[in-house]
Structure 1
Amino acid sequence: MNTQRSGSSSLTFDRRALLKTLGIGAVGLAGVPLLSACTGGSAPSGGSSKTMTFGSSASDDVPKRAYQAVVDAFQKKSGDTVTTNTVPHNDFQNKINSYLQGSPDDAFTWFAGYRMQYYAGKGLLAPIDDVWEKIGANYSDALKKASTGPDGKMYFVPNYNYPWGFFYRKSFWAQKGYTVPKTFDELKTLAAKMKGDGIIPIGFADKDGWPAMGTFDYINMRLNGYQFHVDLCAHKESWNQPKVQSVFDTWKALLPYQDPGALGQTWQDAAKLLGDKKTGMYLLGSFVTQQFTDPAVLADIDFFPFPEIAVEGQDSIEAPIDGLLLSKKGGQNQVAKDFLAFMGTPEAQNAYYSVDNSNIATAKGADTSKFTALNKKCADAIAGAKNISQFFDRDALPAMANNVMIPALQSFIKDGNVDIKNLESQAAALYAAQ
C-alpha cells in the first residue's frame, strides 16, 4: 500500500503487498498461527527499562536497511537496545490479527486510516497521547487526524507517505514521441499507440492481490469523487448501484492494454519490466523506485497523476501513510514510547530517507535539500491535492478488502466480469458483524 508500502506499504506497502487475511472479525486464537512464531518470539518488554522489540514488515532490501538506519540512530542517541524482528511483508499483514492478540513486539510498522483505527477500537493498541505531546508540532493537522483513533486518542506516528501515479521512463517516451495524457480518453489513445508499437502499454501486477485496488480507487474517485470513495469503503454507500458498475465498465476499456500476465506477477516483477522498457507505464506508489538500483535508470523515471475522467478532475490523490504503532504490551515500555517519539522527528526521518528516498518524509523540518526532481514532483502532487485517500485496503474494513475485493478484482482482471450485487451482499454481512 511501500509497501507498501503499502505497501507503506507498505503502502512496504513491500508496503502495498496484501494477501487474503484471516477473518478479522474473529477473536478466537484456536488453530491460528501467531506472527511471533515467524519472528522467533519477542523479548519481554517489561523486564528491562532499556530494551524493546520492534516488529517490522519492511522485508524488502531498501526499506529494511532504512529502518535499520533509524534503529541505529536511536540506539546511538538513547543508549537503549532495540531488537528488530523482520517478517516477510505479506506474512506480517496476513497474521496481524493473531499477532496482536498473541505475543506482539512492543512497536511495529503499520498504516494510518481504517487499518489503524480498527485495531485501536479493538483495544489491541496502546494510545500514545504522551508521545504526541512531544512530536505534535512536527505534523500537519491532516496527519494528526490520520493518526487519531476512534476514541479520539493518538495511536500512530507517521514516517512517510507516497503518491500513487503512472511511472514511466522519460528517454523511452521521448524516443517514441509519447506525451503525458491529461484525460482518460488521452490515456486510452496513448495505450493504443503503445500497443501498436509492440509494447505492453500498462505494466500491471496483481499476484499479491492489493495492487489492483489502486486502479479501482482512482477510477472510482475520478468518476464519483473522493467522498463517494470514503463512503463506499465505510459501506455508507451500496456496492449494488450504477456508480460502482460504471467504475468497472470504465476500467474494462483498459484491460486490453494492461499486462496480460498480471495475475502471475509481483509488483517487483512489473517494475523490472518498466525499467527494461518492456512496458510503457506503470500505475503504482512511488516506492516502485526502490527497484531501480541503476542510478541512470532511476534518474530516467518520471510520473504523472491518474488522468481526469469526470467529476473532480485530478483533485484527489492516493498517498498512503506508513509509520509505527505500539502494541498494548508495548505501551508499558518507556523505551518503545521513546522510539516512537524519535520516529516523529526530522532526525529519524532523515535517517530513513538517507537509505530509502522513494518516499516523502512527513515530519516538518525533514531535509528536502537532497530531493530529486522526481521526489519534488511527488511531494508537490501530495501537497497540491485537495483530498488524500489512504488506499482501499486501508480505508475499508480489513475483511472486505482482503476476503472480498481481492478475489473480485482478480476475477475481473481475468475475464472482465464482476457481480456488484454479490459484492453488496458480502459487504452488508461483514459490516453488520462489526
Structure 2
Amino acid sequence: MNQRLPISRRKLLLGAAASFGVPAVLAGCGSGGPAPTPGQSGGNLGTVSIGSNASDEIPKKMLESVVKGFTQATTRINTVDHNTFQENINRYLRGTPEDVFTWFAGYRMQFFAEQGLATDISDVWQEIGGDYTQAFKDQSTGTDGKQYFVPFSYYPWAVFYRKSLWEEKGYEVPATLDEFTALARRMQADDIIPIAFADKDGWPAMGTFDILNMRTNGYDFHISLMGGKESWTDPKVRQVFDTWRGLMEFHQPAALGRTWQEAAQSLAQKKTGMYLLGMFVAQQFPEADRDDLDFFTFPEINPAYGTDSIDAPIDGYMISAKAKNVDGAKALLKHFAQASSQDIAAKLDPGILAASSNADTSGYSALQKRGAELVSKAKHIAQFLDRDTRPDFASTVMIPSLQSFVSEPDQLDSLLTSIEQQKANIFR
C-alpha cells in the first residue's frame, strides 16, 4: 500500500469555557475536575501544557502514550469532555489556555487564526513539511498563508456493520438509495433496527446531513451552502431533508437521548444493522470483535454525483496565542508530526489513520487499510459540517436545528426559514 496519503490529488476544502480554569466542570473530564494528567518529565524546555478533548478511554490513553515519548520537556495534559471543549473553545482561547491544544484542520483552524488566537508555526512546517502532502499543508494554512496547525490523524465517515450478522442474514451492500431502503425494510422484518442513530451531543446528525447533501446536490453545492452562499430554503436543500425524513422510520428511536457511544454499542451487540459514523466507531467494539467490523460508503442518490464525496476530518494540534512556553510547545508539535508518534497512535486507536506521509501503514488493521483506501478513491473530501462552516453557525444554529428536525421532521418549512434567517444574520 502506498504510504503517502492519496488525498493530495483530491479537491479539499481550504477555507475549513469559560476558560477551563473557571467553572470546575471545565477543569477536566468529569465532575469536580481531576488534576491534569502528568506526562513524561525531563528535558530542558520546561513544562508544556496540553488542553485535550480526547476524553474517551482509547483516545485518552493513546495521547498519553504518544506524549510519553516526548523527552524535551515536562508535559501536563488537561483533558476536558469532548463536547464541552468544542462548545467553549472561543472563551477558552481568550482566557487562560494551555500551551498546546487539540483542534481541527481547515475552516475551524482558520477561524481562530484570523482572530489572533493561535500562534504562527510556519517555522515548524519548514522542518516537518516534507512529511506531509500538499493537501495536508493546505488544510493547516491560514488565510494569511501561514501555518497554524499540525495534522496528526484523520478518519473517514461511512456506513458500518458487523460482517457476521450480514453473512448470517444474507444481506448485501446496497449501491443505491432504493437498495439501501429495501435492505432496511428487510432488517425490520428480521426484528433488527436498521440504522443505529444518536444525536444527544448534537454533532452526529451533521454527518447524516453532509452525506445526503453531497449525494443529492454534489460537493460544490454542499461547500457553498456551508460557506453561507446558498439559501437554506432552496428546493435542493428541502430535497435533502425530504430524503432524510423518508429514512426516519429506519432510524433508532429516541435519538436525542442517546450518545454516539451507546448507538455504537447497539451495533456491536447486533441490535442494529448499520451505523453512519466516523471510523472511530471501532473504539466502542471489544478488541475481539473488531475484525468483524466492516463498512461501505453511503450509496448513490443522484447519478450525477454517484459516491464521489465523503467526510474525512483531520485532527491535530495548535499552539494558543497565549502560550507560556512557545519553544516547548513547538518542540512538542514536531514530536506529534513524527511518523513514529502517529504509528503509535494508529496502533492504539483502531478508529484513526496517521496523517504523516511516512507512517508505517503495514501495521494497519484490515479496517484501517479499508479506510485509507476509501479516502484514496474519493474525488471530493469534506471536513464535516461543523468544520466546514463558521463555528458560531454550526453551534448556535445547526445543532439545535438538526435536533429539532430529528424530533419533529414534519415541521420542515418553518425550520428551513429559521435557518436561512439566522444564516443571513451571521454571514454578513
- Calculate the TM-score normalised by the size of structure 2: 0.89
Aligned match of 1:327 in 320, 327, 352? 320
State the AA in 1 paired with 2:70: F
1:306 equivalenced with 2:298 (yes/no): yes
The separation in 2 between residues aligned to 1:373 and 1:60, in whole angstroms, is: 23
Aligned match of 2:106 in 113, 117, 121? 113
The DSSP-based 3-state class of the residue aligned with 1:216 is: helix
1:70 equivalenced with 2:45 (yes/no): no
Question: What does residue range 156-195 of structure 1 map to in structure 2 within 5 Å?
Answer: 156-195=149-188
State the AA in 2 paired with 1:65: K
Q: In structure 2, what is the equivalent of residue 226 of structure 1? A: 219
The DSSP-based 3-state class of the residue aligned with 2:378 is: coil
Does the aligned pair in 1 maintain the 2:232–2:419 contact within 8 Å? yes
1:428 equivalenced with 2:424 (yes/no): yes
The separation in 2 between residues aligned to 1:292 and 1:132, in whole angstroms, is: 36
1:341 equivalenced with 2:334 (yes/no): yes
More deviation in 201-210 or 354-363?
A: 354-363
Q: In structure 2, what is the equivalent of residue 35 of structure 1? A: 20
The separation in 2 between residues aligned to 1:305 and 1:107, in whole angstroms, is: 34
State the AA in 1 paired with 2:102: T
1:56 equivalenced with 2:41 (yes/no): no
Q: CA deviation at 1:363?
A: 0.1
Q: CA deviation at 1:138?
A: 0.8
4+ runs deviating over 6 angstroms:
40-43
User: RMSD over aligned Cα, in angstroms?
Assistant: 1.5
State the AA in 2 paired with 1:207: K
The separation in 2 between residues aligned to 1:157 and 1:422, in whole angstroms, is: 37
Does the aligned pair in 1 maintain the 2:212–2:244 contact within 8 Å? yes
Q: In structure 2, what is the equivalent of residue 400 of structure 1? A: 393
Q: CA deviation at 1:293?
A: 2.0
State the AA in 1 paired with 2:180: L
Does the aligned pair in 2 maintain the 1:35–1:96 contact within 8 Å? no
Q: In structure 1, what is the equivalent of residue 7 of structure 2? A: none
1:280-317, Cα deviation, whole Å (9 max, x unpaired): 0000000010111241x111000000111113111111
Does the aligned pair in 2 maintain the 1:159–1:343 contact within 8 Å? yes
The DSSP-based 3-state class of the residue aligned with 1:104 is: coil
Q: Percent identity?
A: 50
Does the aligned pair in 1 maintain the 2:151–2:315 contact within 8 Å? yes
Q: In structure 2, what is the equivalent of residue 291 of structure 1? A: 284
1:344-392, Cα deviation, whole Å (9 max, x unpaired): 1101111212311211101011111121211111000011111110000
Does the aligned pair in 1 maintain the 2:228–2:427 contact within 8 Å? yes
Does the aligned pair in 2 maintain the 1:49–1:333 contact within 8 Å? no
Q: In structure 2, what is the equivalent of residue 5 of structure 1? A: none
Q: CA deviation at 1:331?
A: 7.8
The DSSP-based 3-state class of the residue aligned with 1:109 is: strand
Q: CA deviation at 1:327?
A: 0.2
Alpha-carbon distance change, 294 to 373 in structure 1, aligned in 2, over 3 angstroms: closer
Q: CA deviation at 1:50?
A: 2.2
The DSSP-based 3-state class of the residue aligned with 2:427 is: helix
Aligned match of 1:257 in 250, 261, 265? 250
Does the aligned pair in 2 maintain the 1:315–1:385 contact within 8 Å? yes
1:243 equivalenced with 2:239 (yes/no): no
Question: What does residue range 137-156 of structure 1 map to in structure 2 within 5 Å?
Answer: 137-156=130-149
Alpha-carbon distance change, 331 to 119 in structure 1, aligned in 2, over 3 angstroms: farther
The DSSP-based 3-state class of the residue aligned with 1:33 is: coil
1:371 equivalenced with 2:355 (yes/no): no
Q: Name stretches of at least 5 consecutive residues in structure 2 with no aligned partner.
A: 1-16, 28-32, 39-43
Q: CA deviation at 1:91?
A: 1.3
The separation in 1 between residues aligned to 2:257 and 2:404, in whole angstroms, is: 13
The separation in 2 between residues aligned to 1:370 and 1:294, in whole angstroms, is: 16
Equivalent residues, number = 393
Does the aligned pair in 2 maintain the 1:55–1:105 contact within 8 Å? yes
The DSSP-based 3-state class of the residue aligned with 2:69 is: helix
1:383 equivalenced with 2:383 (yes/no): no
Q: CA deviation at 1:431?
A: 1.3
State the AA in 2 paired with 1:334: D
The separation in 1 between residues aligned to 2:118 and 2:371, in whole angstroms, is: 31
Does the aligned pair in 2 maintain the 1:331–1:337 contact within 8 Å? no
The separation in 1 between residues aligned to 2:395 and 2:188, in whole angstroms, is: 32
Q: Name stretches of at least 5 consecutive residues in structure 1 with no aligned partner.
A: 1-31
The DSSP-based 3-state class of the residue aligned with 1:84 is: strand
Q: CA deviation at 1:94?
A: 1.4
Q: CA deviation at 1:88?
A: 1.1
Does the aligned pair in 1 maintain the 2:87–2:395 contact within 8 Å? no
Q: CA deviation at 1:238?
A: 1.4
The DSSP-based 3-state class of the residue aligned with 2:363 is: coil
State the AA in 1 paired with 2:45: S
1:209 equivalenced with 2:202 (yes/no): yes
1:25-49, Cα deviation, whole Å (9 max, x unpaired): xxxxxxx732233337999xxxx83
Does the aligned pair in 2 maintain the 1:127–1:331 contact within 8 Å? no
State the AA in 1 paired with 2:49: T
The separation in 2 between residues aligned to 1:383 and 1:201, in whole angstroms, is: 28
Q: CA deviation at 1:74?
A: 1.1
Does the aligned pair in 2 maintain the 1:107–1:336 contact within 8 Å? yes
The separation in 2 between residues aligned to 1:205 and 1:110, in whole angstroms, is: 23
- Calculate the TM-score normalised by the size of structure 1: 0.88
Aligned match of 1:99 in 83, 86, 92? 92
The separation in 1 between residues aligned to 2:387 and 2:18, in whole angstroms, is: 23
